[in-house]
Structure 1
Amino acid sequence: MEVLIVGAGSMGTWVGGAVDADVAFADVDPDAATAAADAVGGDVADLEGTDSYDIVCVAVPMAHAANAIASHADRAERAIFDVSGVMGPPLEAMARHAPALERASLHPLFAPERAPGSIAVVRDEPGPTTDAVLEALAARENDLVETTAAEHDEAMESVQAATHAAVLSFALAAESVPKGFETPIYADLRTLAETMTEGTPRVYADIQETFDGAQSVAEAAADVAAADADEFAALYREAATRWHPDDGTGTGDDSSAVTGGSTGGDDR
């Protein structure tokens, strides 16, 4: 099986190493295509070429996914899929430009260096070729999470846009404190800030442009900042009810304000 991967960034390179196929990379940066090919033992393809492949995988930034699908769909003989991170627009573009092919949208919910992990999957037009790709990813201990484009894109408003806005806001607003002064909540947020700021700014910017979520964080922060004691307590109870709907957390003991309380896990 031969796969053309359009986009030779970290995610495209990861796909090239994860699928059980002969892969070729095409990228606007020829050096990036060469580096990806060298990393996984693949080939370099002409971005403007006409050679066809069993599968075309689009691994470009989400803002450019639909255009890349329009440009390269005719190079796919059997299947096309993307790993751009948004699902609605790419799947619409695939249906328009590759109506006779197997089609899927995949979103690895992790940075490539943290693989394996969960991969959101929409099998828009399934078949043996895309099934083989997914089986190869599952064989590498990735957890395939079947979803719909609407469900995925709505979830990303919270999972990515709101979460990233909140963590980046903490990273900009908070100060480093002397050793020994950390509470568990501060330490966890600091770890998240350190992890997030190791990434690529453009990737996070693309997420903010694609998904809503940051505005709700800003509005909530403004409500917290403007609240008096009673209003703050009401906001706290509202949050506690949302995240602990069955156990009454947040309505009684105030000791967590001193100890740092319990903190939930993070998915990234």
Structure 2
Amino acid sequence: MRLLVVGAGSMGRWFGRTVDADLAFADANPDAAVAAADELGGRAVPLDGDEQFDVVCLAVPMDLAAEAVEANAHRAERGMCDVTGSMSKPVAAMREHLPDRERLSLHPLFAPVNAPGNVACVVDESGPLGDALLDDVSAAGNTVFETTPEEHDTAMETVQAAAHAAVLSFGLAADDVRAEFTTPISAALDELVSAVTSGNPRVYADIQSSFGDGTDRVADAARDLAMADDETFADLYRRVAHRDDETDNHEPAE
């Protein structure tokens, strides 16, 4: 399989490393494409070239996904996939610009350094090349599960936008305190803050822009807690405690 990966960052390199293909990389930064090709045994090609490949994989920022589909559709002889992290917009763009070719959207739900893990998958138009790519992703130890663009993007409002907003909000609100005052919960939150802030702020900004309803819900929930009287606070607490049909017999965690 002749595979072009558009986007030579960490996710593009993860995909190139994971699948079995003759690799080429293109990137807005030509040096990044060269570095990825040297690392993984492929070659670098111009971002605006016309050379065609069996499959084109888009590993670009989420806000550029639909644009990248249109710009690279002519280079994909048999199919296109993306690992951009959103699904509704790239899948819609692939349907428009590649109506007669294989179409696949993947979202690895982890940073590449934490691979393997869960990979959300939309097989919008199946075929042998997409099947081969999915087999390679699974063979690398990942758990691939099918979803829809709508289900995926709605879930990302919670598991990405809301989660990141809650963690970063704690980081912004927290004061420096002596280590002796640390509790199990505050220590866990400190670890989460460190994990989130060790990444690329552009990635997290893209998530907030794409799935911002989750962030708004976190802000609304924090406001409700801040304004609640004792009885209302207890009701809100119980609502969370019973979310998964748990009992109300929780002991204090600290």
TM-score, normalising length: structure 1 = 0.92
Question: In 1, Cα distance between the equivalents of 2:170 and 2:183?
Answer: 15
SS in 2 for 1:193: helix
**1:140 matched residue in structure 2:** 140
SS in 1 for 2:180: coil
How far 1:234 sits from its partner (Å)? 1.4
> What is the CA deviation profile of residues 160-212 of structure 1, one whole-angstrom value per residue up to 9, with x for unaligned ones?
01111000001111123322322111111111000000000010000010012
Alpha carbons of 1:249 and 1:240: their partners in 2 closer, same or farther (altered >3 Å)? farther
Question: In 1, Cα distance between the equivalents of 2:152 and 2:48?
Answer: 32
**1:34 matched residue in structure 2:** 34
**2:125 matched residue in structure 1:** 125
**1:198 matched residue in structure 2:** 198
**2:234 matched residue in structure 1:** 233
Counterpart AA for 1:191? E
**1:221 matched residue in structure 2:** 222
How far 1:152 sits from its partner (Å)? 0.5
- Runs of 5+ in structure 2 lacking a partner? none
CA contact under 8 A between 1:2 and 1:23: conserved in structure 2? Answer: yes
Question: In 2, Cα distance between the equivalents of 1:59 and 1:73?
Answer: 14
> 1:34-113 maps to which residues of 2 (within 5 A)?
34-113=34-113
**1:152 matched residue in structure 2:** 152
> What is the CA deviation profile of residues 103-156 of structure 1, one whole-angstrom value per residue up to 9, with x for unaligned ones?
010000000111111100000001110000010111100100111111111100
How far 1:79 sits from its partner (Å)? 1.1
Question: In 2, Cα distance between the equivalents of 1:180 and 1:115?
Answer: 34
**1:163 matched residue in structure 2:** 163
Counterpart AA for 1:93? A
**2:183 matched residue in structure 1:** 183
Counterpart AA for 2:120? A
**1:15 matched residue in structure 2:** 15
**1:247 matched residue in structure 2:** 247
Counterpart AA for 1:194? S
CA contact under 8 A between 1:240 and 1:249: conserved in structure 2? Answer: no
Question: In 2, Cα distance between the equivalents of 1:220 and 1:249?
Answer: 23
> What is the CA deviation profile of residues 5-34 of structure 1, one whole-angstrom value per residue up to 9, with x for unaligned ones?
111111011111111001111111111111
CA contact under 8 A between 1:171 and 1:190: conserved in structure 2? Answer: yes
Alpha carbons of 1:249 and 1:45: their partners in 2 closer, same or farther (altered >3 Å)? farther
Question: In 2, Cα distance between the equivalents of 1:71 and 1:39?
Answer: 26
How far 1:247 sits from its partner (Å)? 2.4
Q: What is the RMSD of the two structures over their aligned residues, measured on CA atoms?
A: 1.1
